[in-house]
Amino acid sequence: MVVFPNAKINLGLNVLRKREDGYHDISTVFVPYKGMSDVLEVVFADEPGMFQYGLDCGCEPEKNLCFKAYRLMAEKYGIDPVKIYLYKNIPSGSGLGGGSADAAFTLRLINDLFGLNLSDACLAADAATLGSDCAFFIYNRPMAASGRGEILQECKLSLEGYRVEVMVPPVHVSTAEAYRGVTPAMPAVPVEDIVGRPVEEWRGLLVNDFEESILATHPEIAAAKQSFYDRGAVYASMSGSGSSVFGIFNE
């Protein structure tokens, strides 16, 4: 079975507080971006295996989130071995959630392959143990996220009539670097309230808290964002902790 795990973008991202477990509570809106995707195949096998192609995944196959997803399913549901083939198109460390998408799609594929008939809620709970935004890709539709990114609520959002473009400058931004540049605080207006307004009103209101420090230290990312506005975007922003930037244009 072959699927195409897509990327995501963040509409706004507020870092609210640091938690006792070392993570941060955030508030954001996740939106699928299907203009960029990986290729994932899961097949029955005599023994488990993981094979990686395309862009560098940044880890050995046995440490890939896809293989961790298989191990989770094997331990929890007693499934037989599979081999996983992953072709990476979504750059790692870009803030587009490629690794999380791959893991979530692996869970869904295994659920279908073995006829486990697990609900989305059950799969999302399993996905949340693999990564903060993995659960979003189980639903793969606009969702307001809180907690570490694993607490999800339906978000009424339509970008019909708009075109989204994504650019990934050749810069790596680590999550640790991104959080070092942020002072957690509650926003004046919640992200989901701003997203409920017309897109043309988002500029200046919908903020990614990581941008201030990241754009200052990585001018290539700042230039990419400005290039979208220079071309007529109604809104542009860094996605997640970067380095990707997206622009929203009127069709």
pLDDT at 12: 97
Q: Residue 250: which residues within 8 A CB-CB, separation 6 or more? A: 161, 162, 163, 232, 234
If we measure between CA atoms, which residue out of 238, 33, 32 comes closest to residue 142? 32
User: Does the annotation count 8 as an active-site position?
Assistant: yes
What span, in angstroms and rounded, lies between the C-alpha atoms of 210 and 212?
Answer: 6
The active-site residue, picked from 38, 102, 126, 133, is 133
pLDDT at 178: 86
**Mind listing the pLDDT tens digit for each residue in 53-108?**
999 888 898 889 999 999 999 999 999 999 999 999 999 888 999 999 999 999 99
Q: Enter the tokens of residue 160.
A: 């019909």
Q: Enter the tokens of residue 45.
A: 């096998």
Number of Cα atoms under 13 Å in the Cβ half of residue 51: 8
pLDDT at 156: 86
Reported pTM = 0.94
- Report the alpha-carbon angle 131-137-139, nearest 5: 130
- Domains in the chain, CATH or no CATH each: 2-154 (3.30.230.10), 162-250 (3.30.70.890)
Cα-based distances in Å from 3 to 85, 91, 102, 188, 223 = 11, 18, 10, 40, 34
pLDDT by 10s per residue, the chain, length 251: 899 999 999 999 999 998 888 888 999 999 999 999 999 999 999 999 999 999 988 889 888 999 999 999 999 999 999 999 999 999 988 899 999 999 999 999 999 999 999 999 999 999 999 998 999 999 999 999 999 899 999 998 989 999 999 999 998 888 888 888 899 999 999 999 999 999 999 999 999 999 999 999 999 999 999 999 999 999 999 998 878 999 999 98
The active-site residue, picked from 8, 102, 209, 225, is 8
What span, in angstroms and rounded, lies between the C-alpha atoms of 66 and 110?
Answer: 11
User: Does the annotation count 18 as an active-site position?
Assistant: no
Q: Enter the tokens of residue 188.
A: 């004046």
